[in-house]
Amino acid sequence: MEKKWWHKTVGYQIYPKSFQDTNGDGIGDLKGVIRHLDKIEKLGANVIWLCPVFASPMVDNGYDISDYMDIDPSFGTMEDMKELIEEAKKRGIRILMDLVVNHSSDRHAWFQAALKDPFGKYGKYYVFREGKDGKEPNNWRSIFGGSAWEKVPGYDNLYYLHIFTKEQPDLNWENQELREEIYEMILKWMDLGLGGFRLDAISHLKKNYQYTNLPPDGPDEYNMAFEYFNNVDGLADILREMKERTFAPTDALTIGEYDHMGPEDVEDVIGENGSFSSVFDFCHTLDNVRNPKWGNTVALFDDYRDQLFAAQKIVDGRGMLCNFLENHDKTRIIDRFLMPEDQNRYSEKMLPVTNFFLPGIVFLYQGQELGMRDNPKQSIQGFVDKPTFAIYDRLIAEGKTDAEALGQINRESREHSRTPMQWDASAEAGFTTGTPWFPVNKNYTELNYEAEEKDPDSLLWFYRKMVAVRRREDLEETFLYGMLIPEYETVSGVLAYRRKDEKNHILILTTSLADGMALPFADTIEEVILNNYDTCEAGEGTIRLQPYQCLVLKVKE
C-alpha cells in the first residue's frame, strides 16, 4: 500500500450548530470552532470533519445546499471559513467539509431556473419525468417517507425526483454539464486550503431509471426501492471521473458515505486506485442494546465484534475503512452499547478501544470524549428534526401507539447526538449566552469539559491517552499497516485482536463482562501500553480481565 498523509488521520467530527455559539443567537458558528481548536489539538486530532456550513434554508440541517460557494449566515462568513482553515493549519489540523452533491436545495439557483423551464439547460441538471395514470412516475418511496416524486408547480403531469425531502431535488449525474460545474466548485474549495471532503449520500448518485411500479412494501402503497438508487451499476464510472478530475490532482482526503460495500466493490471504492480515500464502516450502526432484539450488553457486544471482523475481512488489506462509533446521525454509544447497569467509568473507557486500533483511519465525534448521553423526550414535540417527525408518522401509520412510537424514536433518534456541546456548568453548559436552538442535556452540570479537564482519571483524559498511543512514533506504523489477527473470537464477552509487523506485536483485549474473566494466555508482556485499570493480572498461562477491562499490550514474539 502506497503511504499517504491521510493514513495518519485521527479525525474529530464537529456538528457546528451544536458546538459553540459566539454571538448569542443560540446557534453554533465557525468562530466557535476556532475558539476551541486548541482543545482539539490537545486531544490529538489532526483532521476536523465539519458538518455542512454552506448556505442553506436548513430543511435538513444544512444537507440541502442553496449555494456551494457561500457560508450560511447562521454560521458566519466566508472570511470566517478562511480563518478557520488557516488557524487549523497552524495547529497541524486539516479541515474536511461535508459535501452534498446527490441533491441540492430547492432554493438553489439551478433548481429555481429549472422550475421556470424544466426542459431547458437547468432542467437537465435535475430529474423531471411525466406521471403515469394520474399518479407519480412510479411508486418509489423517499428515504424520509412519502413519495420520492413531487409535482412541479404549474404543470398537470410533471414531477421531479427527490429521494430525501421534497426540498432536496436530486441532481442528474447523467448530465456532463452539471458534473463540470460540480468539479469546478470542488477545485475552488481545494484552492482555499481544504484537506478534503466527507461525501454525503454519495452511493446514490447513479439511479436505475426503470419507471415501473414495484410491489408496495407498506400501507402507503410505496416501495423503498433502495436497489434502484443505491450502488447502481455505473456508479463506479461516475465516481472515478470525479476523483480523476478533482481529488487526485489535489491530494484530497475523501471519505464516502457509501452503503453496502461488498468484496467485489472494494477495489473500485477504496482500493489503491479507488474513488475514495476511505468509507465509513457502518457495520455496527444498527446495533442498539435497548432494542428488544438484544436486551443485554454481552449479546450485543458479541454481534458487534463479529461484524467488525467481517467488515475487515471484506476489505482484506486492500484499502482503509474509516472506523467510528458516534456521528451526527447516531445515538450516543454509552446508551447504545451499554445497559444502564453496565455504565461506569471502566466500561465507558473500554468502548472506544474496541475499534480504535483496527486497520483504517479513525474518527471521534464531538462530546464522545466526554461521554455525552442521549436526551430522551417526553413528547414527540420535543424533537425538531423533520425526518424524525416523518418516522414518527410512519410508525403511527403502521399501527404503533403514541407511546410505542415515541419509545422507538427515543431509542433511535439521531437528534440525541445533536444536543449542544457541554463545555462547563454555567447556564446552557457554556454553549451560548442566549437560548439554544435545541435543549441542552440536563446532566451538563456534572458532565462537562471543564469538570473532566480537572480530573486526570476522567474519560476525556483517557481519550487523550488512547489517541497518543495510536500516534506514538514507535507504534504508529504497526497500527496503520500491520497485520490484523482476531483473537478469542468465540469467547462471549471478549473482543480482542493483534496488530503485528516486523517491529511490533500488539495485543488489544476488551471485555463487556460485568464479572470479568480469565483467559488462556501464552504471551510474554513487554509493555502495558494502555489500561483502564491500575493493574494487569497475567501469569502462569492465564490473564485475568477485570470487569469491562481494556488492555493494549506490547508482547514479545
DSSP-H helix ranges across 398-475: 402-412, 449-453, 459-470
Instruction: DSSP for 361-391, please give it.
Output: EEEEETTGGGT------SSGGG---HHHHHH
| The dihedral sign for the CA sequence 92, 98, 99, 102 | positive
Look up residue 100 and give its three cell numbers. 452534498
Residue entry with cell 446532566:
443
Q: Is 200 a catalytic residue?
A: yes
* Residue 331 amino acid letter: T
- Rounded to the nearest 10°, the torsion over CA 446, 448, 454, 459 is 100
- Residue 69: count of CB within 10 angstroms of its CB: 12
Question: What single-letter amino acid sits at 555?
Answer: V
Instruction: Specify the DSSP class assigned to residue 140.
Output: B
Is-catalytic flag, 415?
Answer: no
Look at strands 525-531 and 47-50 and give their pairing: unpaired
**Spatial distance between the Cα atoms of 26 and 243, rounded to a whole number of angstroms:** 38
Bridge partners of residue 552, in order along the sequence: 508, 530
- What's the alpha-carbon Rg for the chain, to the nearest Å? 24
Which one from 257, 287, 326, 428 is the annotated catalytic residue?
257
Give the span between the Cα atoms of 97 and 50, in whole angstroms: 5
- DSSP class of residue 491 equals S
Q: Which helix (H) or strand (E) holds 352?
A: helix 345-356
Distance CA 251, CA 418 (A): 31
Q: Which of 200, 342, 348, 369 is catalytic?
A: 200
If DSSP codes are grouped into helix, strand and coil, which group holds residue 542? Answer: strand
Q: CB–CB of 173/179 below 8 Å?
A: yes
Q: Which residues are tagged catalytic?
A: 200, 257
